[in-house]
Amino acid sequence: MNNFLVGLQFLTRITVKKNLDWSEKACGGSVKFFPLIGAVLGIVYVIAGYIIYFLLPQYDFHPSAHLTGFILLALNIFLTGALHCDGFVDTMDGILSGRTRERILEIMKDSRVGAHGATALILLIIGKFCMFSDLEAQLALTALFLMPIIPRCCMSSAVINFPYARKEGLGKAFHEYSGSRDMLLASFFTCLVSVLLGTIAIIAYILTTLIMYGFNCYVSRLLGGLTGDVYGATTELGEFVVLFIFAIAQIFI
């Protein structure tokens, strides 16, 4: 339970217990729970979605598509404390700079935000907002539940299957104290949830996993491994891909 709570309180703003064991081993042990932590977030998103799409209309209040998109996007950012957004910005600043490996790692460590990171984050937020706004009620609930689960399985893969690019760093403990058994558990849970939720969910699981694995391979070749920032970028991009797949799928339903 401690390992699960460590992961939950590190990846989200949800605080259950303050006096946790934050050892490196506990951090590594939390990796297998990343998709389950995503499911906790997914439940919150689904509750919010149910209120917006089904409960409020019963009281003759119909939020506009834009207002719905804003609420869901704000909730998405708030519940994670923008942790993954920060990693996404740093990663984009680095890998889009066209510099050497050493310089890219320096740029990613710099707390200042550059043009590449800012532009990429703006595009990401606009994209998420548009897809939150466009999803129809029934399909939206499935997408809202899966959106945080599949990318966090991809993050587990990034942590376990790729070397760590720095000699030290916040994400190093997660990599060093997790292994193939953790990856198996994370994948099993994500696959099971996807199968239970139907064809579109299965497609979203397969495509997102492949796309994010390809992204991690590219960054790993560029940097000689991954960093904590890349873990965050994997999650943000993964959420975007899941939403995009559902947005495209509803066109053909």
- The mean pLDDT value for 4-28 works out to 91
Model pLDDT, residue 186 = 97
The yes-or-no verdict on residue 157 having pLDDT over 90 is: yes
More confident residue, 216 or 1: 216
**pTM for the model:** 0.96
**Helix, strand, or coil (residue 226):** strand
What's the token pair of residue 72? 């869901």
Q: pLDDT tens digits for 31-65?
A: 999 999 999 999 999 999 999 999 999 999 999 99
- The mean pLDDT value for 141-159 works out to 98
Cβ neighbours of residue 220 closer than 8 Å, sequence gap 6 or more: 162, 163, 165, 226
- The mean pLDDT value for 85-91 works out to 96
The yes-or-no verdict on residue 170 having pLDDT over 90 is: no
Model pLDDT, residue 21 = 87
Cβ neighbours of residue 146 closer than 8 Å, sequence gap 6 or more: 42, 193, 194, 197, 201, 204, 205, 242, 246
Instruction: Please give the Cα distance from 216 to 238 (Å, whole number).
Output: 11
The rounded percent of the chain whose pLDDT value lies above 70 is: 100
Q: pLDDT tens digits for 182-241?
A: 999 999 999 999 999 999 999 999 999 999 999 999 999 999 999 999 999 999 999 999
Residue 165: band (very low, low, confident or very high) from pLDDT cuts 50, 70, 90: very high
The yes-or-no verdict on residue 169 having pLDDT over 90 is: no
Q: What is the DSSP string of 140-175?
A: HHHHHHHTTHHHHHHHHHHHHHS-BSSSS-TTHHHH
What's the token pair of residue 93? 């600043």
Average pLDDT of the chain to the nearest whole number = 95
Q: What are the residue boundaries of the structural domains of the chain, listed by start? A: 33-246
Tally of helices (H runs) and strands (E runs) in the chain: 14, 0
The yes-or-no verdict on residue 142 having pLDDT over 80 is: yes
Model pLDDT, residue 18 = 81
Residue 73: band (very low, low, confident or very high) from pLDDT cuts 50, 70, 90: very high
The yes-or-no verdict on residue 253 having pLDDT over 80 is: no
The yes-or-no verdict on residue 99 having pLDDT over 80 is: yes
Of 5-9, 16-20, 182-186, least confident by mean pLDDT is: 16-20
Model pLDDT, residue 229 = 96
Side-chain-side CA neighbours of 132 within 13 Å: the count stands at 29
